[in-house]
Amino acid sequence: MSQLSNTSPHTTGDTRLDDQNNHRPIFIECDNLVKIYKVADLEVVALQGLDLLIREGEMMALVGPSGSGKSTLMNILGGLDSPSAGRVRVGDYNLLEMTRRDQVRYRRHMVGFVWQQTARNLLPYLTAVENVELPMALAGFPTRERRERAADLLDRVGLSDRMNHRPDRLSGGEQQRVAIAVGMANRPAMLLADEPTGEVDNASAEQIFHSLRTLNEEFGVTVIVVTHDITVANRVDRLVGLRDGRTSTEILRRREGDIAIHEEEYAILDRAGRLQLPEAYIDTLDMEDRVRLRLEEDHIGVWPEHNPQGEMSSNGQEDEDYDS
Ligand SMILES: Nc1ncnc2c1ncn2[C@@H]1O[C@H](COP(=O)(O)OP(=O)(O)OP(=O)(O)O)[C@@H](O)[C@H]1O
Ligand SMILES: [Mg+2]
């Protein structure tokens, strides 16, 4: 397995708000990641040069329009699909160079997966506790350890009184929380949840999110949630936006106590120096085609071409009249 470098200055890993996590080692590193699906004669580029760094123990959400590549990225990180080009490292695994054996080991020990469709996560003829025990049985854990750990996990997701229920006797939200416990059964380093709240009501979504947060805090598992759910998205400390198969913008929040939240929006600067501005900013300032840039001491100004604020006078000097 080849190791990748641990530094990627072209991503937002070293931003100010990220300081709270900066002491943690980088756990997931996607560098110029590309995924192309071939369907008959057509090629669909699902990921086109995606850069992303995720630190150990982070809990973050991925958002983005339909077709932007969220599930594609999750499937690659989950070892269910292989990338076409670029680099992607998770822990010690280089996902572009995995043998079949690596892949089995990776899926068994590194990843827990929770799908949107409740029915896809659980076996209908097993009780909640049996569902949680199953991955441990396949991994060869002794019966007693399985029982204990399954009960403990179900307790942590708030379902100790539902252990012996089959899925058809559980609500959608409860099934998703059992699915989270199943995902955690083999002590994975990361838990991936693709729209886990997509089929449940608000109150259940809240409980699902709470369970993910609890396991993140208590076991230090890295959690990535794909979501359209604004309440979920608003409650994570890091929200990464995908657009057209790339990371576009990113929101970092810092909690001070329980309520005060400091929030800043970031964009990804790729290695070619390209920057994608948030759509809302572009619309607000009516920017198109060409923008005017100015390098200041500690920042770069960006103006719409027609806006006098950043305009040059005819002799090529900046127009001081507009500058104050
Ligand atoms: N197995 C596949 N074969 C061919 N094309 C695919 C496959 N999976 C995804 N795609 C295409 O790749 C692009 C990204 O799809 P993806 O499922 O990752 O999007 P998404 O962000 O998860 O969208 P949604 O919010 O609708 O779930 C889309 O254009 C999709 O049609
Ligand atoms: Mg999807």
Atom of ligand 1 nearest to the CA of 81: 1
Query: Rounded to the nearest whole angstrom, what is the distance from the C-alpha of residue 45 to the centroid of ligand 1?
Result: 9
Q: Are 102 and 211 in a shared domain? A: yes
Instruction: Classify residue 17: in a domain, yes or no.
Output: no
Ligand 1 contacts CB of residue 197 (under 6 A): no
Whole-angstrom distance, CA of residue 55 vs CA of residue 231: 23
pLDDT, residue 311, reads 53
- pLDDT of 256 reads 62
The rounded distance, in Å, linking the Cα atoms of 292 and 289 is 10
Cβ 64 under 6 angstroms from ligand 1? yes
- State the CATH number of the domain containing residue 69: 3.40.50.300
| Whether the CB of 66 sits within 6 Å of ligand 1 | yes
Instruction: For residues 272 and 61, give the distance between their C-alpha atoms in angstroms, rounded to a whole number.
Output: 26
Give residue 169 CA to ligand 2 midpoint distance, Å: 27
Phi/psi at 56 (nearest 5 deg)? -55, 130
68 Cβ below 6 A of ligand 1: yes
User: How far is C-alpha 266 from the geometric centre of its chain's CA atoms?
Assistant: 15
Same-domain status, 262 and 303: no
Q: Is residue 125, in this structure, part of any structural domain at all?
A: yes
- Assigned domain for 91 exists: no
Clarify whether residues 192 and 292 are in a common domain: no
DSSP state at residue 288: -
Do 154 and 105 lie in one domain? The reply is yes
Q: Would you place residue 316 in the very low, low, confident or very high pLDDT band (cuts 50, 70, 90)?
A: very low
Choosing from 220, 242, 267, the residue where a domain stops is: 267
CB-count burial class (<10 Å; 0-12, 13-18, 19+) for 5? exposed
Would you say residue 167 lies in a domain? yes
Ligand 1: nearest atom to the Cα of 228:
25
pLDDT digit string, tens, across residues 194-210: 999 988 998 999 999 99
Q: For the purposes of burial, counting CB atoms within 10 Å of the CB of 188, is it exposed (0-12), middle (13-18) or buried (19 or more)?
A: buried
Global pTM reads: 0.82
Does residue 4 register a pLDDT over 80? no
Nearest-10 Cα torsion for 133, 137, 140, 141: 30
> Which listed ligand is nearest to 228 at the C-alpha?
1
If asked whether residues 197 and 313 sit together in one domain, one would say no
Tell me phi and psi for residue 321, to 5 degrees: -55, -35
Give nearest CA residue, ligand 1 atom 3.
37
The CA 234 to ligand 1 mean position distance, Å, reads 24
Domain tally, the chain: 2
Q: Measuring CA to CA, how many Å separate 122 from each of 87, 174, 202?
A: 33, 11, 22
The answer to whether 79 and 110 are in contact (CB under 8 A) is: yes
Q: Are residues 307 and 184 in the same domain?
A: no
DSSP-derived 3-state class of residue 89: strand
Distance 247 CA to ligand 1 centre (A): 15
- Cα–Cα distances (Å) from 6 to 13, 25, 28, 29, in that order, read 11, 9, 10, 8
Q: 307 with 179, same domain?
A: no
Rg (alpha carbons) of the chain, rounded to whole number = 22
Indicate whether 13 belongs to any domain: no
Q: Whose alpha carbon is nearest atom 11 of ligand 1? A: 46
Q: Look at residue 199 and give its three-state secondary structure.
A: coil
Residue at 295 is within a domain:
yes
- Over the stretch 81-127, which tens digit does the pLDDT of each residue have? 999 999 999 999 999 988 889 998 899 889 999 988 888 899 999 99
Tokens, residue 243 = 């657009």
Q: Report the separation in Å between the CA atom of 260 and the middle of ligand 1, taken as the mean of its atom positions.
A: 37
Please check whether residue 10 lies inside any domain of the structure: no
Tokens in use for 128? 């909640």
Rounded to an integer, what distance in angstroms lies between the CA atom of residue 214 and that of residue 96? 32
Q: Using the structure block, give the residue that is written with the tokens 């390209």.
A: 274
Packing angle, helices 128-138 and 143-156, rounded to 10: 130
Pair 177, 126 in one domain: yes
Q: Give percent above pLDDT 70 in the chain.
A: 85
Supply the range of the domain harboring residue 303.
284-322
Distant-in-sequence contacts of 205-212, Cβ < 8 A, 24+ apart: 205/173, 205/229, 205/231, 205/232, 206/231, 207/158, 207/173, 207/177, 208/173, 208/176, 208/177, 208/180, 209/235, 210/158, 211/156, 211/157, 211/158, 211/177, 211/180, 212/59, 212/180
At 182-195, the pLDDT tens digits run 999 999 999 999 99
| Nearest-ligand number for the alpha carbon of 42 | 1
Ligand 1 site, residue 70, Cβ cutoff 6 A: yes
Does residue 212 lie in a domain region?
yes
Residues 66 and 133 in one domain: yes
Which one has a higher pLDDT value, 95 or 258? Answer: 95
Residues 155 and 199 in one domain: yes
Same domain? For 164 and 311 the reply is no
Cβ distance 82 to 76 under 8 Å? Answer: yes
Query: Is 72 close to ligand 1, i.e. is its CB under 6 Å away?
Result: yes
pLDDT at residue 76 tops 90: yes
Other C-beta atoms within 10 Å of 62: how many?
A: 26
233 and 204 assigned to the same domain? yes
